Amino acid sequence: MLVLVLVHVLAHGRTQIASTDRVDPLAFVVVLTPGSRLCQQDEIVPSDTAALRMTIGTYGDPGPRLAFAVTVPDPAGPTATRLLASGVLAHGWQQGKVRIPIAPRVRGNHTGATVCISNLGATQVAIAGSTVLGDYGFNDYLNGRYYAAEVRVDYMLPGRPSWLEMVPRLAYRMTLGKGGVGAIGWIAPLLAMLALAAIVVRVLLAAERES
Amino acid sequence: MIRRAWRWVARTLARPPRAAYLCALVAVLNALVWSIIVPPFEVPDENGHYAYVAQLVQAGSLPHYIATSPDLSPREDATLEVVHAFRLPGWPQNPAPLTSADQHVIDAVERQDLSARGSGNAGSASDNPPLYYALEAVPYVLSPSGSVLDRLALMRAFSSLFAGVTVFFVFMFLRELFPGTRRVWSVGALAVALQPMFAFISGGLNNDALLYAFAAMLFFALARMFRRGLDEHTGLAIGLAIGFGLLAKFTLLAFAPAAALAVLYGLWRARRDGRGPALRGAAIAAALSAVPTLLYLALASRSVTPGGIGAPATTLTGAHTSLRAEISHIWQLFLPRMPWMAPQFPRSQLWHTWFMGLIGRFGWLDTTFPFWVYVLAAPIAVALIVGALTTLARERKRLRRHAFELGVYVVMIGGLCVEIGVESYRTLVTSGGIFEQPRYLLSGLCIYAAIVALVARLGGRRIGIALGTLIVMLALAHDLFSQLLVIGRYYA
């Protein structure tokens, strides 16, 4: 039964993040009026990003048309940028945690990226984030002027991968940020648990024999 | 005397069956797994514990609490920043580093030659006694690189060894308690070895790991004294467990009154067989219990090793307190509120803090199972308790012979609850904070193991074996799913 539960859980698909900027969505910190544009600089956009996810409020109305653009520094010049990916939310979306598909799918990690959101509709929206200034190291500009807030951006993987499909990715992630032990980040726990299970069985069998 | 004591220790350690060592090995492996899967600094207060060891090694002095500045050492602070150590606690949707870009940022910080010497502050760990940190100084120094992450990994691995010591003494405790039923020793010890919260804490850098080991040693020493009488050897074991346990964490003080009661009982019981060895045993136990801590307190206050025992976080100066409210607070922290008591908590602590916490609340208390898991676990826990009580009722004749011993264990657990309750109340009235955490109850792991062992004694050999196997398999599944929960929380 345990195995069946495990198989069911592992085969179940759900949306998965490629990474996130880890800004705590403490409150709605930016109000984007019609025609406004918010840009957040210094983001790290991870490889395989196929969508952005943000918490956006619409004051109960159907969401207005929003355009999203991810740009990165261009080697052509110190101020030059190039479009990495973009996407649009058509009018009528529901407020909450909103997934915004972007294309093309991002290849490779990109540091120093800028994520911009433009309100192309007729009603305003609010975006969740934090106003603890500079806490996360991002710089935000509202209509070209510095804005003292940071918004939460999650970078999403394409589709709804199952846990089973996520295993290689999770195994890789377990090796990160751990110093030298990272090299054995997933193999050592796996081997140790197998050894542990074998010892447990052996102890139980010995206890049965002795009693 | 020392030679005799050593012979006793050697005899005691040589005699345990192989299963005792294998159960200890299971505990070490399990704690090691937890030490690797939990991201750096995501075990409670790990930043402070690391800073304590760094202070001992780098400055040769004890740390002191600095309320005005949270800074530790430049090297540790920079590492905490890039591994997002403080962006994860309380935000389960914030993962650990996930991409090679994150890793490059970490590598860049590790390459910088930042100072490992700190401000002297070790945060919440500053007031702890030094034994655990002095031992952890060994892997800190032996780490081939000066990297904070390498050192932490090695220190965590070293801490995992204490899980093995704890389970070894749990096994020995059960052997004293149930000398005629060998199979339950392994079942109880394995249930502890596979307890996820125990493995999570022991696999982190946290002085609770050493506290659990000394607490289990004390339970074993007392059980041995109740069966073999108080003499120099049992006195030595009791004294070592309390004396050095207090140097690991002052929490062990909760067990001191019950241990004193047990030693007095040992003296009284020895009145017929000659009191000489018992008196000497009591004297050794008392001296060893007190001397290490007194020495530490004297040294710390005379600033021979500057620092330590800094400003206690829970002094009651200026706070509005009442004994009645404090008693009510302690009661409600563990038991249902009585009609005449003013509410101290918004919800049942027995369920939310202790039961749910011990089933699984990992990381900085922010990684929990879906609620239905706790609901599913409740009848299993109730069945275990009913099973244990049934065995006690069946064996009431034998139990009557050990009534005083049982009373001592009850006083030990009661002492632990009162100590947690007092600290909880003081924290609440002084800062409005919450002190209680499920890991604080793990000093009583021997009693948890005894409950499991009692259940495994139900219904004769065949049913007992089946029950024991079922309990261990459940414990293994619980451990495995807890690990998957943690992996999902930090890496997905």
Per-residue pLDDT of chain B (492 residues; tens, 9 = 90+): 667 666 766 666 657 899 999 999 999 999 999 999 999 999 999 999 999 999 999 999 999 888 777 789 999 999 999 999 999 999 999 999 999 999 999 999 999 989 999 888 998 899 999 999 999 999 999 998 889 999 999 999 999 999 999 999 999 999 999 998 999 999 999 999 999 999 999 999 999 999 999 999 999 999 999 999 999 999 999 999 999 999 999 999 999 999 999 999 999 998 776 688 899 999 999 999 999 989 988 887 765 455 544 444 455 555 667 889 999 999 999 999 999 999 999 999 999 999 999 999 999 999 999 999 999 999 999 999 999 999 999 999 989 999 999 999 999 999 999 999 999 999 999 888 889 999 999 999 999 999 999 999 987 788 889 999 999 999 999 999 999 999 999 999
- C-alpha B328/C-alpha B333 separation (Å) is 8
Residue A110 has pLDDT above 60, yes or no: yes
B165 vs chain A: nearest CA distance in angstroms?
A: 16
pLDDT value at residue B194 = 98
**What single-letter DSSP state applies at residue B343?**
P
H helical segments located in chain A: 2-11, 163-173, 187-210
> Which sign, positive or negative, has the C-alpha torsion A26, A28, A29, A30?
positive
Rounded CA-CA distance B163/B200 in Å is 10
A7 reaches B (C-beta below 8 A): no
Report yes or no: B55 and B134 within 8 Å, Cβ to Cβ. Answer: no
Calculate how close chain A gets to B108, using CA atoms only, in Å.
12
Torsion of CA B282, B284, B289, B293, to 10 degrees: 150
Beta pairing partners, A17: A156
Work out how many domains chain B is built from and give that number: 1
Q: Say which residue the tokens 């540790």 belong to.
A: B76
**A193 Cβ under 8 Å from any chain B Cβ:** yes
For residue A94, what is the DSSP state? Answer: P
Domain extent at residue B380: 2-43+164-491
How many C-beta atoms surround the C-beta of residue B105 within 10 A? Answer: 17
Can you say whether residue B460 is alpha, beta or left, with left for phi > 0 and alpha for psi between -120 and 50 degrees? left
Nearest Cα neighbor of B491 from A54, A152, A20 is: A20
For residues A23 and A202, what is the distance between their CA atoms, to the nearest angstrom?
Answer: 48
Task: Identify whether the C-beta of residue B158 lies closer than 8 Å to the C-beta of residue B139.
Answer: yes
Question: Are the CB atoms for A98 and A125 separated by under 8 Å?
Answer: no
How many of the other CB atoms lie within 10 Å of CB of A6?
Answer: 15
B41 DSSP assignment: T
Using a cut of 0.90, tell me whether the model's pTM lies above it: yes
Region A95-115: mean pLDDT is 96
Residue B120 belongs to a domain: no
Q: Alpha-carbon distance B18 to B25, whole Å?
A: 11
For residue B486, CA distances in Å to A38, A177, B96 come to 35, 16, 11
CB A176 to CB B100 under 8 A? yes
Backbone φ and ψ of B67, nearest 5°: -70, -30
> Residue A75 corresponds to which tokens in the numbers above?
């080697």
d(C-alpha B169, C-alpha A41), whole Å: 56
Tell me whether residue B212 is in a domain.
yes
The pLDDT of residue A35 = 97
Q: Do B106 and A20 touch (CB under 8 A)?
A: no
Is B90 domain-assigned? no
Selection from B341, B326, B391 nearest residue B188 by Cα: B391
Per-residue confidence (pLDDT) for residue B3, from 0 to 100: 73
Tell me what the mean pLDDT of segment A131-137 comes to. 78
Domain annotation covers residue B451: yes
Quickly count: other Cβ atoms within 10 Å of residue A15's Cβ.
15
Q: Tens digit of pLDDT for each residue in A74-101?
A: 888 778 899 999 999 999 999 999 999 9
Q: Are strands A66-73 and A27-32 parallel, antiparallel or unpaired?
A: unpaired
Task: Please give, rounded to a whole number of angstroms, the shortest distance from the CA of B97 to a CA of chain A.
Answer: 6
Test A19 with B149 for CB contact under 8 angstroms.
Answer: no
pLDDT (mean) for A32-58: 97
pLDDT band with cut points at 50, 70 and 90 for residue A45 = very high
Cβ atoms of B106 and B82 closer than 8 Å: yes
Neighbouring residues of A43: CB distance < 8 A, sequence distance ≥ 6:
A21, A70, A113, A114, A115, A138, A153
Cis peptide before A64 (omega within 30 of 0): no
Where b means 16+ CB within 10 Å and e means fewer, B174-208 reads: bbbbbeebbbbbbbbbbbbbbbbbbbbbbbbbbbb
- Please count the CA atoms within 13 angstroms of the CA of B19 that sit on its side-chain side: 25
d(Cα A68, Cα A57) in Å, to the nearest integer?
16
Q: Residue B278: CA atoms inside 13 Å, Cβ hemisphere, count?
A: 19
Beta bridge partners of A43: A113
Q: How far is A121 from chain B (nearest CA, A)?
A: 30
Residue type, A23: V
Give the DSSP H/E element, type plus range, for residue A43: strand A37-45
The answer to whether residue B132 is domain-embedded is no
Task: Using CB atoms within 10 Å of the CB of residue A138, give its burial: 0 to 12 exposed, 13 to 18 middle, 19+ buried.
Answer: buried
Is A176 close to B183, i.e. CB distance below 8 A?
no
Cross-chain residue pair B30–A20, CB shorter than 8 Å: no
Flag if B182 and A22 touch (Cβ within 8 Å): no
Distance separating alpha carbons of residues A115 and B338, to the nearest angstrom:
56
Helix (H) or strand (E) holding B167: helix B148-177
Q: What is the pLDDT of residue B13?
A: 60
| Residues of A in Cβ contact (< 8 Å) with B203 | none
Mean pLDDT of chain A: 93
What is the model's pLDDT at position B302?
Answer: 60
With CB atoms and an 8 Å threshold, state whether A199 touches B25.
yes
Contact of B446 with B416, CB cutoff 8 Å? no
Residue B139 counted as domain residue: no
Cα angle B471, B472, B476; round to 5: 120
What ipTM goes with this model? 0.91
Q: What does the pLDDT read at residue B312?
A: 44
Residues from chain A contacting residue B102 (CB–CB below 8 Å): 19, 44, 176-177
DSSP B410-454: HHHHHHHHHHHHHHHHHHHHHHS-----GGGGGGGHHHHHHHHHH
DSSP annotation of A79 reads T
Q: In this structure, is residue B111 part of a structural domain?
A: no
pLDDT of amino acid B2: 64
Contact at 8 Å (CB) between A138 and A43?
yes
| Closest-CA residue of chain B to A198 | B26
The SS3 assignment for B70 reads coil
* Residues B352 and B437: beta-carbon distance below 8 Å: no
Burial B25-61 (b: 16+ CB within 10 A, else e): bbbbbbbbbbbbbbbbbbbbbbbbbbbbbbbbbbbee
According to DSSP, the β-strands at B367-368 and B361-362 are antiparallel
pLDDT of residue B307: 52
What integer pLDDT is reported at residue B304 of this predicted model?
Answer: 47
- C-alpha B444/C-alpha B222 separation (Å) is 13
Judge whether B266 lies within some domain.
Answer: yes
CA distance B175 to B194: 19
Pair of tokens at residue B419: 């100590």
Q: Report how far residue B423's alpha carbon sits from residue B249's, in angstroms, rounded to the nearest whole number.
A: 14
